Amino acid sequence: MSRFIELFAGCGGMSLGLHASGFELAMANELSPMAAETFAYNHLNVDLQASSTTTAKSVLWLGSKYPRTRLKDRLRENPYDYPDWASGGYTDIPASGLTGQGQLVVGSIVSLNKHLKEEFIQHPQRRNRFSVDLVSGGPPCQSFSMAGLRQRDNHRNQLPWEFASFVKLVRPKVALLENVSGILRAFRQDGEEFHAWREVAKAFTAVGYAPICIHANAKYVGVAQNRPRFLMFAVRKDLAESIIEQQITASERSALQQALDTFDKNFDWNLLRYWDVAQSSDQDLFDGSIFRHLLTTPDKNNWTTAEDAISDLENITNKNIQPSIYVNRINETFGKFVPRQKIKNIERRKHGLRVQQRFRLYQVLEGLGDRSLSRAIAKAFKDGDQVTLSQLASPLLHHKFLFAEGQKLRLPADVNEIVSLVVSLRTKKHSQRALIADRPSPAALSIPDDCCHYSSDHLRTLSVREVARIQSFPDSFEFRSKVTTGGDSRKFEVPQYTQAGNAVPPLLAKQAGEVVQELLRLATPTEQAVRLEAVISGQLLEI
């Protein structure tokens, strides 16, 4: 079975999908102890809340302020305060080193790179423990996101480069990097236009990997979510050269040739392109090629909807409500890897009258799809403006709203009543929206207030389980640690909602894994490459 290492593992969405595509976990790395708790529980069958120091040997901290006897304190530790693995604090890494046999390493990728580099220098033979086919991961991406600060020098932007450094250390056959689609959009800083995705591609070329870049979307592989993502399949140079010599399609050859062209010292990086599953001009790459796995549901009439994902959870005690084909699919595909029976994370959040009223307004606005009206309501929320809203509010008269505690929804009496209702609901939150039953969910689901239910009978945010369903997690996958967080703790805590909402959708990860498996089947190392790998096994290349 093919082996993989997962970096920035989070709760384990990518790992779950890769398992389903035939990969076996060699090692995972995650910074957050809260996300690590969920990963350990579902992928390693380790309950860190109940574990003693002797029963959690597959979960190791690179460095912690707390000894191993205080695991529960470690699970609430601020990961940005971890002591360096070599300079104080406590470390779980034994003198014999990491095994590369299904371990989860809790700590920063920076510290992990330092540790492995030193270990390989002192014990070159240990590099063989990390002989894997694939290294995958989704580095945190807030500064590349269109909703983020988009700062070129933000420290989180350096994590893809740490990813590349790790790849250079262990030399897998393929590296798979996943990120937000915002990484594809140029932004200007200090008068310079910056293309983050090209810079990341350069980093992998620099360590010997040919980058094939794709703009994918989870909805095109059956996930109940409109979630565009950047995927980079970085193939080790010798293997890319081997693949391109075989009988492959013209579009596959074009993608590989461009990836190999990046090794030319005179290559113009402005010419590097990416392929988009949504662009008709790029369809040849996804039609009958190894990349076909990323476009299995091209027709919007067949996209999985929010209703497909969560309708049976609206009344979970009603045994007559049957799960959809989609729910059965994700449970059959991924449930065998976490074979628990009882559905967890189904608790629903309770809201006061004003929040419920606002959620009903969002439901109506999503159904209308009137951007001018939505902007007028956003302005009324911001500064109490009633004039513009009064001019555009007439479509709202045909929809029922909640006007008072304990009353049923009813139609507004006139425009003045609906305008008064809207103005009374003023809020600083302007990114909230409602699901639309017959469409895929929006991408933003990482905090409870991001999205509310589509049904007027459910004026509430989604449960963690509903977010997980939309993301394509099976019902047997249990999210651990705190449900949500707030205040300053939001800067470092990764509660259940964030774990589920930020995860790589397992179905998308599975399809990406299928692409990698085909690349591996086509790849044949050359004799020169085999000799080079033997040399690398005995010495460490400079990082």
pLDDT in the model for residue 148 = 46
In this structure, are strands 209-217 and 192-194 parallel, antiparallel, or unpaired? unpaired
The HSE-up count of residue 261 (CA atoms within 13 Å, CB side) is 15
Instruction: Mention every residue, 6+ apart, whose C-beta is less than 8 A from residue 306.
Output: 224, 435, 436, 437, 438, 439, 440, 441, 454, 470
Across the chain, which has 543 residues, the per-10-residue mean pLDDT values are: 96 98 98 97 93 75 93 94 81 93 96 94 93 94 48 63 96 96 82 86 97 98 97 97 93 96 96 95 93 95 96 80 94 90 90 94 94 90 87 94 94 95 85 91 81 94 96 97 90 94 97 97 69 54 47
What is the CATH number for 512?
3.40.50.150
Q: Does residue 277 belong to any structural domain of this protein? A: yes
pLDDT in the model for residue 309 = 97
pLDDT in the model for residue 7 = 98
Longest C-alpha distance within the chain, in Å? 81
Q: Does residue 336 belong to any structural domain of this protein? A: no
Region of residue 121 (left: phi > 0; alpha: psi -120 to 50; beta: else):
alpha
Single residue among 428, 461, 494 that ends a domain in this structure: 461
Question: Tokens in use for 308?
Answer: 């497909």
**Residue 249, number of CB atoms within 10 A of its CB:** 15
Do 98 and 156 reside in the same domain of the chain?
yes
Do 264 and 385 reside in the same domain of the chain?
no
CA 346, 351, 353: angle at the middle one, nearest 5? 150
Do 445 and 517 reside in the same domain of the chain?
no
| Cα separation, 463 vs 499, whole angstroms | 13
Do 451 and 527 reside in the same domain of the chain?
no
Region of residue 400 (left: phi > 0; alpha: psi -120 to 50; beta: else):
beta
Collapsing DSSP to helix, strand or coil, 179 comes out as strand
Do 259 and 400 reside in the same domain of the chain?
no
Do 267 and 157 reside in the same domain of the chain?
yes
Q: Does residue 201 belong to any structural domain of this protein? A: yes
Q: Does residue 344 belong to any structural domain of this protein? A: no
> In sequence order, what are the beta bridge partners of 84?
none
Question: Tokens in use for 412?
Answer: 């507004």
Q: Does residue 518 belong to any structural domain of this protein? A: yes
| Cα separation, 314 vs 457, whole angstroms | 9
The enclosing H or E element of 443 equals none
What does the DSSP assignment read for 336-380? GGS---S----PPPP--HHHHHHHHHHHHHHHH--HHHHHHHHHH
Q: Does residue 264 belong to any structural domain of this protein? A: yes
Which domain range does residue 380 map to? 353-461
**Residue 449, number of CB atoms within 10 A of its CB:** 17
Question: Tokens in use for 214?
Answer: 């794709």
Instruction: Mention every residue, 6+ apart, whose C-beta is less than 8 A from residue 110.
Output: 162
pLDDT in the model for residue 150 = 44
Q: Does residue 429 belong to any structural domain of this protein? A: yes
Claim: this prediction has a pTM higher than 0.85 = yes
- Is residue 284 a contact partner of residue 251, using CB atoms and an 8 Å limit? yes
Do 54 and 120 reside in the same domain of the chain?
yes
Do 233 and 92 reside in the same domain of the chain?
yes
Single residue among 461, 490, 515 that ends a domain in this structure: 461
pLDDT in the model for residue 198 = 94
The closest alpha carbon to 10, from 111, 140, 115, belongs to 140
Domain tally, the chain = 2
Do 515 and 447 reside in the same domain of the chain?
no
Q: Does residue 114 belong to any structural domain of this protein? A: yes
Do 236 and 158 reside in the same domain of the chain?
yes
Output the CA–CA distances (angstroms, integers) from residue 226 to 181, 278, 310, 436, in the order listed: 12, 12, 15, 12
Single residue among 427, 461, 495 that ends a domain in this structure: 461
Do 98 and 199 reside in the same domain of the chain?
yes
The enclosing H or E element of 466 equals helix 464-471
Do 371 and 433 reside in the same domain of the chain?
yes
